[in-house]
């Protein structure tokens, strides 16, 4: 009995200190609704316990279960209280459009301060208004279809290089970790073009430390993952500063992301500062790596579970390989535009996996929607996963079915890259690298999933358990 009481006391203390750290390090408003807010028509739902809210319920179960159970009980608009802040959850296409598109000016992007410190406060996705518009145009320009078409043979070579290192002998590999290597290399290509090996290795080494600490508890104490990440972030800034300085000395016009950021001129003749350039480069790394790697990991699992579909994809890709002299010639841009079956696999995987399950916004004023009040300062979360898995829009939503994309989905029902002014500007690059990696996989390897094939981890993006351990064998 004494032991139980002691454990309970420790648990409560942990919750208290967790709340204090969250409040201090995230900048999240943790107050309960004001008295006048309680008297108006707030959305249905529960705010849970004082301070703690429903955080324990969210993190003690599958997040999908948490959100879907509340949607079933309260409807497509409901309130809750997680991580120290009151939230309104929105699970309809109309609501997502309202927050992200038509009335986006009423809702600002919001991130914990601890995460802003690791990426950089001037990164694109922390802002709105003129600065955001200007930066978005620069990033979109460097990642547009015209800009990335010349990357196809280089991404193809990168995919071949990554899969040749330890694949093909039946050795068990962690698929997610391998795909992170691939997406990092593609990020290097898009940002810097061809980068010297010494810079690339230093960037990779320090970025991995930052990445590891990004979702750790934000305690600024020596030895903690978060403190190590802060130190690695400083080193990243120094390395990027050296690369920027070297690029300035050479004065070579480059069309990669770094070149676009460096050549940008503000009104009045001011260029972006080196800090602004570094923040946005690190932001692109964060936006591009884990998300794309997660989707590719799910694609490998989905294809493994559907042998008939896998054969159709193989037939499509082997025809391309034969036309390229049995793979002795690299893929072309035109070929990546003519993979109809494989492209549908990518789209259905994006829907099924819903890597970006939701986004955080914050109401900048009191907002009324569908007769409900969203108070100023409350977080607003459009639930993409709930929409993607809603049988009203996708029949039998847990079934992997390519026929869903024979016609375009209804507006605002399929948003794997977000929507509106803050939608992912690199979505075309992400789809391109997925197509190229699938081509390399199905034409060169067969594979078997090792161990349990069920279970999902959230880190924070959904990934098959243990990163999907797989044995790969090279085809003859």
Binding residues: 424
Centre a 10 Å sphere on the Cβ of residue 58 and count the other Cβ atoms it contains.
Answer: 18
pLDDT of residue 127: 87
Question: Residue 41: CB partners within 8 Å, gap ≥ 6?
Answer: 371, 372, 373
Strands (E), 220-360: none
The model carries a pTM of: 0.88
Consecutive H or E run containing 81: strand 77-82
How far are the Cα atoms of 33, 51, 111, 276, 383 from residue 30, in angstroms, in the given order?
9, 7, 14, 30, 21
Note the pLDDT of residue 98. Answer: 97
What whole-number distance in Å separates Cα of residue 182 and Cα of residue 169?
Answer: 19
**Region of residue 40 (phi > 0: left; psi between -120 and 50: alpha; otherwise: beta):** beta
Annotated binding site for heme: 424
Residue-level pLDDT, tens digit, the chain, 476 residues = 444 434 333 344 444 444 444 444 444 444 444 444 445 689 999 998 887 888 888 777 777 788 889 999 999 999 999 877 899 999 999 999 999 999 999 999 988 788 899 999 999 888 888 888 888 888 888 898 988 999 999 999 999 999 987 787 888 999 999 999 999 999 999 999 989 999 999 999 999 999 998 878 888 899 999 999 999 999 999 999 999 999 988 877 678 899 999 987 654 556 889 999 999 999 999 888 889 999 999 999 999 999 999 999 999 999 999 999 877 888 999 999 999 999 999 999 999 999 988 888 999 999 999 999 999 999 999 999 999 999 999 999 999 999 999 999 999 999 999 998 888 889 999 999 999 999 999 999 999 999 877 888 886 788 999 999 999 999 87
pLDDT score at 264: 78
Exposed/middle/buried for residue 288 (C-beta within 10 Å: 0-12, 13-18, 19+): buried
Alpha-carbon gap, residue 377 to 374, rounded angstroms: 9
One of 3.30.43.20, 3.30.420.40, 3.90.1410.10, 3.10.290.10 is the CATH number of 1-118+358-388, namely 3.30.43.20
Give the position of tokens 């998300």.
291
Task: Say if residue 174 is exposed, middle or buried (CB neighbours under 10 Å; 0-12, 13-18, 19+).
Answer: middle
């Amino acid at each position: 009995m004494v032991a139980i009481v002691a454990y309970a006391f420790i648990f409560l203390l942990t919750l208290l200190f967790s709340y204090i750290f969250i409040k201090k390090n995230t900048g999240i408003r943790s107050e309960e609704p004001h008295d006048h807010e309680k008297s108006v028509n707030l959305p249905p739902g529960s705010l849970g316990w004082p301070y703690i809210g429903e955080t324990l319920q969210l993190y003690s179960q599958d997040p999908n279960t948490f959100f879907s159970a509340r949607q079933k009980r309260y409807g497509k608009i409901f309130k809750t209280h997680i991580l120290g802040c009151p939230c309104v959850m929105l699970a309809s296409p109309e609501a997502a459009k309202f927050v992200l598109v038509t009335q986006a000016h009423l809702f600002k992007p919001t991130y914990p301060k601890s995460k802003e410190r690791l990426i950089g406060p001037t990164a694109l996705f922390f802002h709105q208004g003129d600065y955001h518009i200007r930066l978005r145009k620069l990033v979109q320009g460097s990642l547009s279809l015209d800009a990335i078409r010349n990357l196809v043979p280089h991404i193809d070579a990168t995919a071949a290089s990554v899969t040749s290192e330890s694949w093909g002998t039946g050795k068990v590999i962690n698929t997610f970790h391998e795909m992170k290597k691939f997406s990092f290399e593609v990020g290097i290509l898009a940002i810097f073009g061809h980068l010297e090996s010494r810079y690339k290795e230093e960037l990779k080494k320090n970025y991995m430390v930052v990445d590891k600490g990004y979702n750790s508890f934000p305690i600024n104490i020596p030895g903690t993952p978060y403190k190590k990440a802060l130190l690695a972030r400083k080193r990243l800034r120094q390395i990027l500063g050296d690369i920027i300085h070297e690029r300035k000395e050479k004065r070579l016009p480059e069309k990669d992301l770094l070149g676009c950021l460096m050549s940008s001129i503000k009104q009045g003749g001011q260029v972006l500062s080196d800090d602004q350039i570094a923040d946005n480069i690190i932001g692109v790394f964060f936006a591009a790596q884990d998300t794309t790697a997660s989707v590719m990991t799910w694609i490998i699992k989905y294809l493994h579970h559907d042998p008939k579909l896998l054969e159709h994809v193989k037939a499509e890709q082997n025809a391309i390989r034969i036309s390229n002299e049995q793979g002795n010639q690299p893929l072309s841009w035109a070929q990546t535009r003519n993979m109809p079956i494989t492209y549908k696999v990518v789209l259905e995987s994006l829907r099924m996996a819903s890597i970006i399950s939701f986004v955080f916004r914050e109401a900048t004023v009191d907002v009324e929607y569908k007769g409900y009040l969203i108070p100023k300062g409350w977080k607003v979360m459009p639930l993409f996963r709930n929409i993607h898995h809603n049988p009203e829009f996708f029949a039998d939503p847990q079934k992997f079915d390519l026929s869903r994309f024979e016609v375009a989905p209804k507006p605002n029902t399929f948003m794997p890259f977000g929507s509106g002014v803050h939608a992912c500007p690199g979505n075309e690059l992400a789809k391109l690298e997925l197509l190229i990696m699938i081509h390399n996989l199905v034409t060169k390897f067969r594979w078997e999933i090792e161990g349990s094939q069920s279970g999902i981890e959230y880190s924070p993006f959904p990934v098959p358990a243990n990163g999907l351990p797989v044995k790969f064998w090279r085809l003859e």
